[in-house]
Amino acid sequence: MQIVGVAYGDEVRVADLSPDGERLTLVAGLREFWADAEGCLASPDGETLTISQANLVPPVLPDAQMLCVGLNYLDHVAEGSFRGQELPEYPTLFARWTRSLTVGGAEIPVPATEDGLDWEGEIVAWVGRTLVDADPDEALDAVIGYSTFNDVTARRAQKLTSQWILGKNADRSGPLGPMVPASEVGDLRDGLRLRTRVNGRTVQDASTSQMIHRVGETLSHISRTLTLRPGDLLATGTPSGVGYARTPAWLLEPGDVVEVEVERLGTLRNTIVGPEHRRNPTSGAVADEGAGVPAVSSRRG
Last residue of a domain, one of 17, 39, 56: 56
Question: Range of 170's domain?
Answer: 58-279
Question: pLDDT at position 295, please?
Answer: 32
Asked if residue 289 is part of any domain, the answer here is no
Does the reported pTM lie above 0.75?
yes
Q: Which CATH number characterizes residue 239's domain?
A: 3.90.850.10
Domain check: are 30 and 111 in the same one? no
Examine the domain organization and report whether 38 and 135 are in the same domain: no
What is the total count of domains within the chain? 2
Based on the fold, state whether residues 6 and 134 are members of the same structural domain.
no
Do residues 16 and 113 share a domain? no
pLDDT digit string (tens) for 113-144? 999 999 999 999 999 999 999 999 999 999 99
- Same domain for 20 and 120, yes or no, is no
Alpha carbon distance 7, 198 (integer Å): 29
If asked whether residues 207 and 99 sit together in one domain, one would say: yes
Residue 294 placed within a domain: no
Question: Domain ends where: 12, 37, 56?
Answer: 56
Q: Are residues 86 and 132 in the same domain?
A: yes
Judgement on whether residues 20 and 168 belong to the same structural domain of the protein: no
Residue 266, strand partner residues: 262
285 lies in some domain: no
**Same domain, yes or no: 265 and 161:** yes
In a domain, residue 300? The reply is no
Domain for residue 286, yes or no? no
Q: Tell me: do 155 and 115 sit in the same domain.
A: yes
In a domain, 152, yes or no: yes
Report the 3 state secondary structure along the chain. CCEEEEEECCEEEEEEECCCCCEEEEEEEHHHHHHCHHHHHHCCCCCEEEHHHCCEECCCCCCCCEEEEECCEHHHHCCHHHCCCCCCCCCEEEEECHHHEEECCCEEECCCCCCCEECCEEEEEEECCCECCCCHHHHHHCEEEEEEEECCECHHHHHCCCCCCHHHCCCCCEEECCEEEHHHHCCHHHCCEEEEEECCEEEEEEEHHHECCCHHHHHHHHHCCCCECCCCEEECCCCCCCCCCCCCCCCECCCCEEEEEECCCEEEEEEEECHHHHHCCCCCCCCCCCCCCCCCCCCCC
Q: Residue 295 falls within a domain, yes or no? A: no
Q: Please indicate, yes or no, if residue 62 is contained in any of the structural domains.
A: yes
- Residues in the chain where the model's pLDDT stays below 50: 290-301
Which of 20, 40, 56 is the last residue before a domain boundary? 56
pLDDT score at 216? 97
Residues 28 and 173 in one domain: no
Q: What are phi and psi of 2, to 5 degrees?
A: -135, 105
The per-residue pLDDT for range 187-220, each reduced to its tens digit, is 998 999 999 999 999 999 999 999 999 999 999 9
Indicate if 184 and 232 belong to the same structural domain: yes
Q: What is the pLDDT of residues 268-289, one digit of tens each?
A: 999 999 999 998 765 566 656 5
- Determine the Cα–Cα distance for residues 267 and 228; give it in Å rounded to an integer: 28
